[in-house]
Structure 1
Amino acid sequence: MLDKLTLVLGGAGSGKSLWAETLVRNAGKDRIYLATARVWDDEMRQKVNHHIAQRGPGWTTIEAPLDVTSALAQARPDQVVLLDCATMWLSNHLLDETDLATEEARFLTALSTCTAPVVVVSNEVGLSVVPDNALARRFRDAQGALNQKLAAQAGLVVAVMAGLPLTLKGTLP
């Protein structure tokens, strides 16, 4: 049985999304895919199409690049939500220059009140180099802080590297 909140962390290309999809697929509930990416160019469209093909059938997709709270509020206990990913959600808010503290608080509250189990995918950015510009450093710091808050709230936290899970907190189902 899945925890109320599971956080799956990993670097870009680490296999975290595929691992999270498998975890959700094995939960035996109706699957909701909460997509946060915005498609700005052909390369991003290819990445989204790859993720759709990788997931396969049996998923209800809700596109929510900014407002994940509404989708989480509508989730039912007989469903499981895969939010992929917190990194894109955060990037969208930074680029739109929204009130990040308010949106983050709304997001964390929505996760705690959601009646369905939620698996959140997020990038681990703390293992990379120090960015060379202010926006990138702001993003790195905000992503690190958000990941720490998500990890504190989650019952299960898993780091994925080279497609392999390493449990950091909790117990795998």
Structure 2
Amino acid sequence: MNINNEVTALNDPPRLVLLLGGARSGKSTFAERLAVQSGRSVAFIATAIATDEDMRDRIARHQASRAANWQTIEEPLHLVNAVQQAAVVADVIILDCLTVWLSNWLFSQGDAEQLEEDTAISAQYYAGALQEIDVLLQVVAQLAPGKTLIVVTNEVGLGIVPAYSLGRIYRDVLGLVNQRVAAAATRVYLMIAGLGVDIKRLHETATL
């Protein structure tokens, strides 16, 4: 799909764009290219935390790829506040990424071992994460005209089933979160080997 056509679409502009795919599929690069080529002001919401050397290296590489005039907001948990803050200073907001945010949110809820062992607590986690997303989507819907949020997330449901229960809970909830955001998004791109396919457009035009 020609990215120049998508730049025209961003200039419409859509209120919400979702980019999802596997690791190293080109999600972040595609999001940044959309933002840059739109010619509009950009803010970047980074959810990653430098917990080890590898993560510090990843964060540094992402920082180096961003334009110098972008506003960067580092927020691992409170997405609503971050989006509201970003919308004050920019027209295009990149949220990178929901996958890391959900991991942060999970471990902020308390004892991970208890979450694995107690089905009532895991059910609360499902409901709580989706409630967080619903509030975020309400805020996005109320942004001023001309604002665009580009959300980056991972598709983790195509691999093997995790061997431990916490991993399965995380996979399942992320799948539900992605569905909720995709339903509200104007454009949904599946990233494969650096190429973005607008799967929402294909879904809307599909017939038997």
Q: TM-score, normalised by structure 1?
A: 0.92
Partner residue of 1:93? Answer: 105
Residue type at the aligned position of 1:83:
L
**DSSP-derived class of the 2:38 partner:** coil
Residue type at the aligned position of 2:41:
D
**DSSP-derived class of the 2:62 partner:** helix
The 1-side partners of 2:89 and 2:55 are apart by: 32
Deviation at 1:154, TM superposition (A): 0.2
The 1-side partners of 2:68 and 2:89 are apart by: 21
Partner residue of 1:84? Answer: 96
Partner residue of 1:110? Answer: 139
Q: Which runs of 4+ in 1 moved over 3 A?
A: none
Residue type at the aligned position of 1:111:
V
Q: Is the 1:156–1:170 contact (alpha carbons within 8 Å) kept by the matching residues of 2? A: yes
**DSSP-derived class of the 2:50 partner:** coil
Partner residue of 2:193? Answer: 162
- Judged with a 3 Å threshold, the aligned counterparts in structure 2 of structure 1 residues 132 and 83 are, in CA distance, closer, same or farther, namely same
Identify the structure with the greater helix proportion. Answer: 2
Partner residue of 1:22? Answer: 33
Partner residue of 1:63? Answer: 74
Corresponding pairs, count: 171
Deviation at 1:38, TM superposition (A): 1.1
2:43 aligned with 1:12: no
Deviation at 1:78, TM superposition (A): 5.4
Residue type at the aligned position of 1:51:
H
Q: Is the 2:43–2:90 contact (alpha carbons within 8 Å) kept by the matching residues of 1? A: no
Partner residue of 1:140? Answer: 171
Q: Structure 2: state its 5+ residue gaps.
A: 1-10, 110-124, 203-208
- Judged with a 3 Å threshold, the aligned counterparts in structure 2 of structure 1 residues 170 and 28 are, in CA distance, closer, same or farther, namely farther
2:174 aligned with 1:149: no
Residue type at the aligned position of 2:94:
L
Q: Structure 1: state its 5+ residue gaps.
A: none
2:155 aligned with 1:124: yes
Partner residue of 2:51? Answer: 40
Cα RMSD after superposing both structures? 1.7
**DSSP-derived class of the 1:94 partner:** helix
Deviation at 1:126, TM superposition (A): 1.4
